[in-house]
Amino acid sequence: MRPAVPSRALVRMAITGIYLVRSIPREVQRAARVRAASDGTTLRRVLVHALREYAAGTWTPQPEAKVLEAKVLEAKVLEAKVL
């Protein structure tokens, strides 16, 4: 049996340890890193900011179904603007 090796996982070294976030699609990781770089920040800062907002109660993730509905609606709006 092969030892469990984290693959396709976002791994971040920190002063307090290693943080492993599983099941994040590679394309999401890449897009987030590219956007962070273009915004002049790091993925670490983005994650810390998101965790602080969540901990403070100022941001709550939407259920997956609502996220998909919002993306479909956004695509339809963009398509209508193009036409």
pLDDT surpassing 60 at residue 74: yes
Classify the C-alpha dihedral 20-23-24-25 as positive or negative.
positive
Domain interval for residue 18: 10-82
State the total domains in the chain: 1
Residue 26 placed within a domain = yes
With residue 21 as reference, give the H or E element that holds it. Answer: strand 17-21
Residue 5 placed within a domain = no
Q: What is the mean pLDDT of residues 73-81?
A: 79
Q: How far apart are CA 50 and CA 42, in angstroms?
A: 13
Say what the pTM is: 0.55
Residue 21 placed within a domain = yes
More confident residue, 1 or 61: 61
